Amino acid sequence: MKRIPVFVKITFKLYLLLIAIYFAFRAALLLLNIDRVGETTFWEVCQAFVMGVRFDIVTIGFVIAIPTIVLTFFSFFGKKSRLFEQIYTWVLTVCFTITFGICAADIPYFDQFFDRFNITAFEWMATGDSVFVFKMIFEEPTYILMMLPVLACGFIFWFFAHRIIKRSTGWESVNYVHYGVATVLLWGLVFIGMRGRLNEKSPIMVGTAYFCNNAMLNQLGLNPNFTLARSWLDSKDPDNQKVVFMSDYDAITNVQKNLGIENPDKEFPIAREVVNDTVSNDYNVIVVIMEGMSYNKTAHGGNTRNLTPFLDSLMCNSLSFNNCYTTGTHTYCGIYSTSVSYPVVFRNHALKRIPVLQYDGLAATLQKNGYQTAYFTTHDKEFDNVAGFLTQNGVERIISQADYPVSEVKTTLGVPDDYMFRFAMPIFDEMANNNRPFCVTMMTASDHGPFYIPDYFKAKNDDIRYQITEYADWSLRRFIEMASEKPWFDNTLFVFVADHGAALDTDYSIPLSYFHTPLVFYMPKHLQAIECEAIASQMDVFPTVMGILGKTYVNNTFGIDLRSEGRRYAYFMGDDKYGVINGEWLLINKPSEEQKGLYKYVEKEKKNYILDYPEIANEMQKYAESSWQVSDYQQDKKKTKFLSHE
């Protein structure tokens, strides 16, 4: 211990002290909400507290980073100063007492909203009702009482921090080699702690805390200072601002008309009960979201390089839709819209929204019907907060890079597609043997840089961009070949859709190839092969699956059953513009610059018909903007999950 520099010992002891205080707040939160825990195990509770330490370290790191740097440089001179001790102690005491206050405020906030403390707690500051709110707070004894533990914890921190620094020794014995090594290690650990994770793709996210299916324990691990800071930063992101195309009332009225809702629910404006008169079947469901698989890469889409022979054969032997469009340009958009049948709005990151909302999506609805649910990805499950979002929305099990052998991880994107499919087979067998149907979503990644093609695959094209698409298609073939040998194959519905396409055309300012994707429902023993030309959206996967299964359910989404309903338009968002499309017209609008274009895209005409057919453009614009407006309304009012109030 004598060889450890004094600034390292001080910092380490302060971390332990702070973790203990945050632990006390977390324990208090658990005890006060013990009735919300439900069925669980002692091990899961322990996991929640261990997860809490991770978020506590992140919080501590952001507060203590600069004082630690100052302490490091000050100790270099090897002299102990009472003035420095007092300034250092009091600066930390004030800063951390503020964090204790947030922890205390979090307890009644959580009791009221079942959400950890976040920026929505301060929304009243913009309403002009701040005086009223302050009166309400100070007139409520519970809130006043919460100041007592804050002051107590502030005093405890000051008392022990003062003793730690006062009793520290070894200021005069500076070994510069030890000092240099210790400085690098300490600063490195502090900044790694601030990031929360070692994985290069993403720092710690709110969703990292969601490790099980117990909503209370998933939130227990969070530190309210983290959720507050994260939600504040997200609220300042211009990409996450609330959209205002029209009044909510007008938007809701338009969407209800578009969805054919004649008798809307009084509280959930787009919820409608779907009664299927056919026999209900407990078919397994496997949804494969194909990375970057544009319709333009297929022979059906006019590609002559024979890149996707297997996918093309599936499209000929399945219920397939040749005019399906994704909702956005990023992978998270595809995961979100395919899973919960909601559109994305500009660059608002729906998966990272705080708090993480619950939706009546595919996994959550089938879980209610007794299904096992899982999600497979080739790489880091925390990237884009995918794991946190899906865990909150009915996915019981997530298989990701951490589950695969290290030797099989080839790039930042993890394992190759065909390895993920091979790895999944025994898991599917296990699920099938549980005598319960299963619903699984799989996200491929190989058709995205950095490209990796296994040695055992031989491509026909010379260009790596074409080779990787060949490999992705070959992986799909191997997947179906392996699955076809399983006893559960005939009883399984396979769905193939893309997260988004690829920018393969430049006819218009929005490349349609980036949104145009195959949509295939494959179940040869039970589903008739039909190629449909109707307009479809990846949001329609969930309702169409439910229709094929013959399930009665509440559809509280923007998707439709493509087998029995019609979609007038598909709509999709670029980063700063959007497109609306039907069988004849393409509308492109860039609201920030008031640039509109109406094109006959089938003929690839470049003429802008916006002045010739303004009524068509206005109808398309109203259709899409109403949907985005209502989507934002649903999320803002937390109506994404239907709650029966009968």
Average the pLDDT over each of 111-125, 189-203, 273-287 and give the range with the smallest value. Answer: 111-125
Confidence of residue 504 (pLDDT cuts 50, 70, 90): confident
pLDDT given at position 81: 79
Q: Does residue 272 surpass a pLDDT of 90?
A: yes
User: What letter does residue 216 receive in the DSSP assignment?
Assistant: H
pLDDT given at position 240: 57
Rounded (10°) angle between helices 147-166 and 82-113:
150
| Maximum mean pLDDT: which of 233-247, 504-518, 522-536 | 522-536
Residue 579 CB coordination number (10 Å): 27
What CA–CA distance (Å, rounded) separates 601 from 512? 9
Amino acid found at 422: R
pLDDT given at position 78: 65
Q: What is the mean pLDDT of residues 242-257?
A: 92
Q: What is the mean pLDDT of residues 412-431?
A: 97
Confidence of residue 178 (pLDDT cuts 50, 70, 90): confident
Q: Does residue 88 surpass a pLDDT of 70?
A: yes
Q: Does residue 474 surpass a pLDDT of 90?
A: yes
Question: Which pair of structure tokens corresponds to residue 584?
Answer: 């004849």
Q: What string of H, E and C letters represents the secondary structure of 233-281?
A: HHHHCHHHCCCCCCCHHHHHHHHHHHCCCCCCCCCCCCCEEECCCCCCC
Residue with tokens 């043997």: 433
319 neighbors 564 (Cβ within 8 angstroms): no
The residues, any chain, with a CB within 8 Å of residue 148's CB and separated by 6 or more, are none
pLDDT tens for residues 212-223?
877 789 889 999
Percent of the residues in the chain that have a pLDDT greater than 90, as a whole number: 67
pLDDT given at position 575: 66
Q: Does residue 128 surpass a pLDDT of 50?
A: no
The Cα-based distances of 44 to 54, 254, 293, 392 in angstroms read 16, 46, 39, 16
Q: Does residue 470 surpass a pLDDT of 90?
A: yes
Q: Does residue 132 surpass a pLDDT of 50?
A: no
Residue with tokens 């470049």: 606
What CA–CA distance (Å, rounded) separates 230 from 388? 15
Burial class (CB in 10 A: 0-12, 13-18, 19+), 135: exposed
Rg (CA), the chain: 28
Q: pTM (2 decimals)?
A: 0.80
What CA–CA distance (Å, rounded) separates 510 from 503? 9
pLDDT tens for residues 282-331?
999 999 999 999 999 999 999 999 999 999 999 999 999 999 999 998 89
Residue with tokens 């983290």: 226
Q: What is the mean pLDDT of residues 213-236?
A: 85
pLDDT given at position 211: 85
Average the pLDDT over each of 5-19, 39-53, 161-175, 239-253 and give the range with the smallest value. Answer: 161-175
Confidence of residue 129 (pLDDT cuts 50, 70, 90): very low
Q: Does residue 137 surpass a pLDDT of 70?
A: no
The residues, any chain, with a CB within 8 Å of residue 241's CB and separated by 6 or more, are 348
Q: What is the mean pLDDT of residues 511-528?
A: 95
Q: What is the mean pLDDT of residues 25-35?
A: 93
Q: What is the mean pLDDT of residues 51-61?
A: 95
Q: What is the mean pLDDT of residues 617-632?
A: 97
pLDDT tens for residues 337-393?
999 999 998 767 788 887 889 999 999 999 999 999 999 999 999 888 899 999 999
Confidence of residue 127 (pLDDT cuts 50, 70, 90): very low
Burial class (CB in 10 A: 0-12, 13-18, 19+), 382: buried
pLDDT given at position 172: 64
pLDDT tens for residues 550-563?
999 999 999 999 99
pLDDT tens for residues 565-608?
999 999 998 866 899 999 999 999 987 667 799 999 999 898 99
Q: Who wins on pLDDT, 183 or 235?
A: 183
Residue 154 CB coordination number (10 Å): 19
Q: Does residue 234 surpass a pLDDT of 80?
A: no
What CA–CA distance (Å, rounded) separates 181 from 136? 53
Task: Work out the mean pLDDT of the chain and round it to a whole number.
Answer: 90
Alpha helices in 33-139 (DSSP H): 42-76, 82-113, 130-138
What CA–CA distance (Å, rounded) separates 131 from 572? 43
Domains in the chain (CATH in brackets) are 6-236 (no CATH), 239-636 (3.40.720.10)
pLDDT given at position 203: 84
pLDDT given at position 30: 95
pLDDT given at position 131: 52
Q: Does residue 202 surpass a pLDDT of 80?
A: no
Across-strand partners of 397?
374
Q: What is the mean pLDDT of residues 455-476?
A: 96
Q: Who wins on pLDDT, 74 or 579?
A: 579
Residue with tokens 């690098």: 184
Q: Does residue 173 surpass a pLDDT of 80?
A: no
Which has the closest alpha carbon to 59: 24, 89, 102? Answer: 102
Confidence of residue 438 (pLDDT cuts 50, 70, 90): very high
Q: Does residue 243 surpass a pLDDT of 80?
A: no
Q: Does residue 122 surpass a pLDDT of 50?
A: yes
Q: CA-based diameter of the chain, in Å?
A: 85
Percent of the residues in the chain that have a pLDDT greater than 70, as a whole number: 91
382 neighbors 207 (Cβ within 8 angstroms): yes
The per-residue DSSP string of 572-607 comes to EE-SS-EEEE-SS-EEEEEGGGTEEEEE-GGGT---
475 neighbors 416 (Cβ within 8 angstroms): yes
pLDDT given at position 640: 96
The Cα-based distances of 372 to 107, 227, 366, 428 in angstroms read 34, 30, 8, 10
